[in-house]
Structure 1
Amino acid sequence: MLVRLGNARVMIDCGADWLDHQKRVNPTAIVITHAHADHAAGLAKGAACPVHATEETWALLQRYPVPHRKHICHREPFSIDTVSFEAFPVEHSLLAPAVGYRVTSGRVAFFYVPDLASIRERHEALSGVALYIGDGATVVRSMVRRRDHSEIGHAPIAKQLRWCQEEGVARAIFTHCGSEIVRSDARVVGARVRKLGHEHGVDARVADDGLTLTLDHGIAIS
């Protein structure tokens, strides 16, 4: 995902598909959610811009030749140009600890988390956000399991919509879609997600290729 505002072009995650294509995006910074290959392997040949990630993630990416490493901490906001990012720990993987980002510019905020089973501090993460961009692995089938007293895997869209309803988030988009969605008829799946959203009072949709959104304060997401 690319966040654009003013001179900032911030890429959130850089998966293996981007290994030889970073220049197409020309980011001014990259922010990583976790170290799984589909989120970070695009850094295997390095990056020309600063890259922000948690200590846990850098420990797993230490072999990557990234010269401008920025270490971030949970719940400590940092700024890139005029955009603020705050990392919230989420349950997803024991081997590759993950975060979601609350992204703020002025009075406008959205929350981005491509992979998760649950959000540890959900109210603090979602309170007052204009948009939730979440995990599209499945629609209603849970892929969450428990291991060592932690939840791992992927929460279904239906559960994430319930979180949005409980926290007063009016709009949600689901990305990083799993095979259940990718292999299905896009119109059927889209209608199903919109219906689930309507049942929870949330304007919900599945992201499609080329989707670009502009929020208040001029912040663009693509």
Structure 2
Amino acid sequence: MDESAIKLARMLADLAQQLNEKDSWERTLAEVVEAVQWAVDGCDGAGALLQRPKGEPEISACTADWVRLCDRAQVELGEGPTLDASTGHSVVRIPDMAHEPRWPRFAARAHGLGVGSMIALPMPSTVGLPCSLNVYGTRPRAFDATAEELALIFAAHASVALAGARVQETLEAAVASRQVIGEACGILMERHGITSRQAFDMLVRASQHMNVKLRRIAEAVVRTGRDPGDVVPRRDC
């Protein structure tokens, strides 16, 4: 194995360890885009755009303000390689932003911001939602085949790390929900002299009547000390 291959292996091992230590998928994404910028030849900036259901895509991480402006331009204009990559699950390349015919409005905006070329890479497993890793160069044709392959490796590592981070967050949320529901049941059991099942049923009935998540009802009971039917819970965003 030559020295460059050993260096790459060490770099990816370090990245995997760093991603494993992040405690949220947002921080994981931030770590990925920073790593891509310094590791991929020709990359002068990187970002990630997340596609949420029933909502506009959101910029989840970026390495510079001009990267954020480029990603935001795609959202505002409703066109661009990132949107195609995140939903089409294929790499999208713009070798020369000044002569890009597929997304003319975005290309003009990005070129005006100093972008010469771009690669958009899908990360389909990201927190269960489509996401794209965007790699920008200030020069036309800034990325050769090796740079693109390395960016693909980063995207694959990021997908795995982000899925793990999402699972951890989901488990932590489930534990927190169970705890607050248990506390609310305890309050109702002591006040009314009822069983845990009866207390839980009170929470469920209030949740169904108000069309509010059970966890929110329980939080309101714990916060106010009032019965489920008398609380005004904080609704989900």
Considering the TM-score relative to the shorter chain, is it more than 0.5?
no
Give the structure with higher Rg (CA): 2
TM-score w.r.t. the length of structure 1 is: 0.28
- Larger relative contact order, structure 1 or 2 (CA cutoff 8 Å, min sep 6): 2
Higher helix share: 2
